[in-house]
Amino acid sequence: MNFEEIDLVDTPPTKEEMKKIYEESGHELKKFFNTSGVKYRELGLKEVLKTASEDEMLEILVSDGKLIKRPLLVDNKKVLIGFKENEYKENLL
């Protein structure tokens, strides 16, 4: 299986790329946030995201790669967010 590894911390996706990933994923946009990260807590995003628009959330998400839940696996059929061993086994094997 061929893949391209991208370090999201060093090279976060553009807003347009993130929007496309989100829209194709079928997941809620809030699921893409690394809620256990220091930056998430420092910025008080738990409260901010309650009232933020989709556009604002995308801006925040791509402003710092550490805010994106990792790993983020994207292929032409699915998007897997974070590491859940069962999901990876079901979708990749």
Per-residue tokens: 60: 């925040």
What's the predicted TM-score (pTM) here?
Answer: 0.89
pLDDT tens digit string along 9-50?
A: 999 999 999 999 999 999 999 999 999 999 999 999 999 999
The 10s digit of each residue's pLDDT in 41-55 is 999 999 999 999 999
Banded model confidence at residue 84, pLDDT cuts 50, 70, 90:
confident
Residue 60 has pLDDT above 90, yes or no: yes
Structure tokens at 29: 């946009």
Specify the residue for token string 């090279």.
11
| 33: three-class secondary structure by DSSP | strand
- Side-chain-side CA neighbours of residue 39 (13 Å): 13
Residues of the chain by 3-state class (helix, strand, coil), percent to 5: 50, 10, 40
pLDDT tens per residue, range 62-78 = 999 999 999 999 987 78
Q: What is the pLDDT of residue 1?
A: 62
